[in-house]
Amino acid sequence: MEAPLFTNDAIVFGILMVSLGFVFYTESKKSGFWSKFYKIVPGVLMCYLIPSIFNSMGWISAEKTQTYFIASRYLLPASLVLMTLSIDLKAIFNLGPKALIMFFTGTVGIIIGGPIAILLVSIVSPETVGGVGFDAVWRGLSTLAGSWIGGGANQAAMLEIYQYNQASYGKMVLVDIVVGNIWMAILLIGIGKNNKINKWLKADTTAIEELKDKVSSFTSNITRVPSLADLVIILALAFGAVGLAHFGADNISSYLVNNFESVADKTSSLSSFSSKFFWMVTIATIIGILLSFTKAKNYEGAGASKIGSIFIYILVATIGMKMDLTSILDNPGLLVVGVVWMSIHAGLLILVAKLIKAPYFFLAVGSQANVGAAASAPVVAAAFHPSLATVGVLLAVFGYVVGTYGAMLCTILMEIASKA
């Protein structure tokens, strides 16, 4: 492989941060070219694409830098803690059964959509969903399951747990970006027709109006201008938890490998529990949830989730750096797999929403809490009303909690389907 133009970690990290800064700066424009541009192209897509363009041009390479390792091992668990810090399990359940039903419907749609897509595509093009060993397509698709149930954190977890060939990973990221963001665009378009859709669904939107009042009151009560002490404490909570997560992951993984043959055996379905990365993600999430029952949750008012989101976007950029746009021509059939998969997810959501008369808000946010997670669920929620952004965050954080396990179940089913 030809060496990229820049291999110094500091330079590469600087390029990634400038790329993110460019996206967020231009996306903040309320008028002009960029305002129109981001109505068509989601900002999160650009956060992936710009680093991937630099990679495709030979400027940077994920293979020649430690930026992804640092982002996935340090910033990722820190972001999980900060994103779950403000979770209110009671508030989530108080959203009403329809909100949770639509969220879990979206999760089920992803879990069953993957194996069904493999079965359908294998009828026409078996080589598209084939492969053996670390090149097996089902391993790569596990990263889509992680991304579309929990988000970037769970996507990275699946990549580490199932050890898909890194050289081919760019194709999966491309499918994730293209299909996931097309679906988000469709949901955003639907918001403009919200009233008509709710009328067709015969939905009662009274609960939505009540939610607006509750969330607005909660947000106004905790929001404050963060002090230096606030920011330091937020980082202390995040990276203190990262240290505990690494400590726990090292010891739990070693204990299981040394005491259980089924875990130590790489061919066993339980071998994924030997992954230190898996336990690191799990422990970080648990710590965040536990902290949410303490006064630490009030640091959300000082911007805890915003800092967590920064870490997530840095991870997004490092993942984007793995993608070579020229690889899209290598296996375009994977895009078909992604479209079929997302269509099953969307179709199931629409069917259930129609049956239970759920408002479009629950359908859209329930879907994005799975597919887009914290990066886009609050955006979709806020598009209905700014005060509802927190609802998107809460559901998206819940997606992080169940994402790894849902993705693992989906992956097991996809492995079975690929061998059928």
Predicted local distance difference test score (pLDDT) of residue 328: 60
Distance of CA 410 to the CA centre of its chain: 15
DSSP 72: I
Dihedral of the alpha carbons of 298, 299, 304, 305, in degrees to the nearest 10: 0
Over its C-alpha atoms, the chain yields an Rg (Å, rounded) of 21
**CA–CA distance, 340 with 367 (Å, rounded to integer):** 16
Q: Identify the pLDDT of residue 112.
A: 95
How wide is the angle at C-alpha 167 spanned by C-alphas 66 and 403, nearest 5°?
75
Token output for 365: 């946010």
Q: What is the pLDDT of residue 257?
A: 85
What span, in angstroms and rounded, lies between the C-alpha atoms of 166 and 220?
A: 45
Buried b (16+ CB within 10 A) or exposed e, 135-164: ebbbbbbbbbbbbbbbbbbbbbbbbbbbeb
In terms of phi and psi (left: phi > 0; alpha: psi -120 to 50; beta: otherwise), the region of 224 is beta
Q: What's the CA gap between 143 and 71, in Å, rounded?
A: 17
Token reading at 110: 């992803």
List all residues 6 or more positions away from 94 whose beta carbon is below 8 Å from its beta carbon: none
* Residue 329 confidence (pLDDT): 64
**So what's the pLDDT on residue 84?**
76
Quote the pLDDT of residue 266. 57
Residue 357 has phi, psi (to 5 degrees) of 60, 45
- HEC readout, 116-163: HHHHHHHHHCHHHHCCCHHHCHHHHHHHHHHHHHCCHHHHHHHHHHHC
Residue 285 in contact with residue 238, Cβ under 8 Å?
no
What pLDDT is recorded for position 95? 66
Question: With contact defined as beta carbons under 8 Å apart, do 406 and 149 qualify?
Answer: yes
Report d(CA 396, CA 366) in Å as an integer. Answer: 8
The pLDDT value recorded for residue 327 is 61
Q: What is the pLDDT along the chain (420 residues), one digit of tens a residue?
A: 568 889 899 999 999 999 999 999 999 988 889 988 887 776 767 887 899 889 888 898 877 888 988 988 899 889 878 877 876 666 656 667 888 899 999 999 999 999 999 999 988 888 878 777 777 888 889 888 988 987 765 776 787 778 787 767 777 877 887 788 678 778 877 877 888 999 999 988 877 777 667 656 766 788 899 999 999 999 999 999 999 999 999 999 899 888 888 777 654 546 556 778 778 877 887 898 899 889 998 888 888 888 988 888 888 788 778 777 676 666 678 889 999 999 999 999 999 999 999 999 999 989 988 887 765 676 677 677 655 666 776 777 677 677 778 888 999 999 888 886
What are the C-alpha distances in Å from 293 to residues 185, 232, 297?
A: 35, 20, 7
Instruction: Give me the torsion for CA of 91, 93, 95, 96, rounded to 10°.
Output: -160
